Amino acid sequence: MTAKVLAYNKPRLEGILTVPGDKSISHRAVMFGAIAKGKTTVTGFLPGEDCLSTIDCFRKLGVDIQVDGTNVEINSPGMEGWQEPKEVLYTGNSGTTTRLMLGILAGTNFHSVMTGDASIGKRPMGRVTKPLKQMGALINGREGGQYTPLAIQGTKLKAIDYTMPVASAQVKSAILLAGLQAEGTTIVREKEVSRDHTELMLKQFGANIEVKDGVISIEGGQQLKGTHIDVPGDISSAAFFLVAGAIVPNSEVILKNVGINPTRAGIIEVMQQMGADLTIAQEKSDAAEPTATLTVRTSHLKGTTIEGEIIPRLIDEIPIIALLATQAEGTTIIRNAEELRVKETDRIEAVVTELKKLGADITATEDGMIINGPTSLKGAKLSTYGDHRIGMMAAIASLITESPVEIDDADCIAISYPTFFEHLDLLLK
């Protein structure tokens, strides 16, 4: 763990950035390229630790994957040509890898064991293993398959009709990937829409998948075909610089090629609600994943209420939205975000605890937080809890604190944004 002291002494931010590739899409590009027969090429890939964990898992299954910076080439024989792994599949800190791999491995013809780091060991896997077991999956692990490590004996699966109890793209994707191998047509019903990268990308790989009014249907027994995937910039990474541009005085930040998929772009809506000076120049709206150039300037912000259907569309951005709210006039209330309690850490407690150290007027609730502003923030020693998004929130906070901020484990930021501090330095004026 490398501690980092940040003392920016009232900077302003100005410049143009291209943020790293979308983490969710990078994971899926590798996974679907490995499932598909033939060659898949990926540009704009995020070479962060989480996505490299996904690559490592598929290499252990015998898939040829070459990485050159942000370019990846996958040559796969298709799932029937995979080998039983001789080693445990290690997923690191990646919930996406762990949960989606369960859906993929459940329908293979071999045995595999999967585990992750200490954080993954605490994250609930029962929400994935329960529907997969309904499909006939043979999965064992701690507390009846609730937690890693997990042992998966691949077997023949049968389709199910499943209503999602909570909005979760990871659970939905695991079921759809199992459904791809199952006998019959698998149906997933969503009460609230979660990010739809899996559905969009399956179509790019040639899958027959139907999405209508929150109901997703996929036929079993389909063979994906290798293709090319261009990964847009990650809006969850862009969010930190969007907030920085809005709260640091005399600033203007331009972010190019940011993915603005409507199931992910809740941060934009919230910033507009709060009065941020934010402009969107559309780029590729005809692509599978729409992108835009986002320009943000120092803004006079007002408090708002964030709740209901928008929450799944900004769940990863809530830590940085909380910091934004400390600089807004009035009260900001975040509700219906109890999912944050089972992320890399309990993000509600982590965000509230660390922002309080800086002098924020913030209170935790069971499913969110209440923030009163605007508040002048002071420096402090902050913990990241090994959570990349808490680490980046702390770094952005240090831009407006009256004294230095010390972050205990700055290295964890590399999980999703290896060049974060380089990019921050580019903007500092």
Active site residues: 316
Task: Identify which of 376, 429, 419, 392 has the alpha carbon closest to the alpha carbon of residue 247.
Answer: 376
DSSP state of 182: S
SS3 of 89-106: EECCCCHHHHHHHHHHHC
Q: Which helix (H) or strand (E) holds 280?
A: strand 277-282
Asked whether 390 and 413 are in contact (CB, 8 A), the reply is: no
Q: How many CB atoms lie within 10 A of CB 221?
A: 9
- What residue spans of 66-211 are helical by DSSP H? 95-105, 126-134, 142-145, 169-179, 197-204
Residues 6+ apart with CB under 8 A from 130: none
- Sign of the Cα torsion 136, 142, 146, 149 reads negative
Asked whether 325 and 303 are in contact (CB, 8 A), the reply is: yes
Crossing angle of the two packed helices 49-60 and 95-105, in degrees rounded to 10 = 20
For residue 74, what are its two tokens? 């996958």
The torsion region of residue 370 among left (phi > 0), alpha (psi -120 to 50) and beta comes to beta
**Alpha carbon distance 429, 425 (integer Å):** 9
Q: For residues 36-74, b (16+ Cβ closer than 10 Å) or e, as one string? A: bbeebbbebbbbbbbbbbbbbbbebbebebebeeeebeb
Binding residues for phosphoenolpyruvate, by number, are 23, 95, 123, 170, 347, 389
Q: How far is CA 420 from CA 143, 215, 256, in A?
A: 38, 38, 15
- Could you give the count of Cα atoms lying within 13 Å of 235 in the half-sphere of its Cβ? 26
For residue 365, what are its two tokens? 């609730």
DSSP state of 16: E
Asked whether 17 and 255 are in contact (CB, 8 A), the reply is: yes
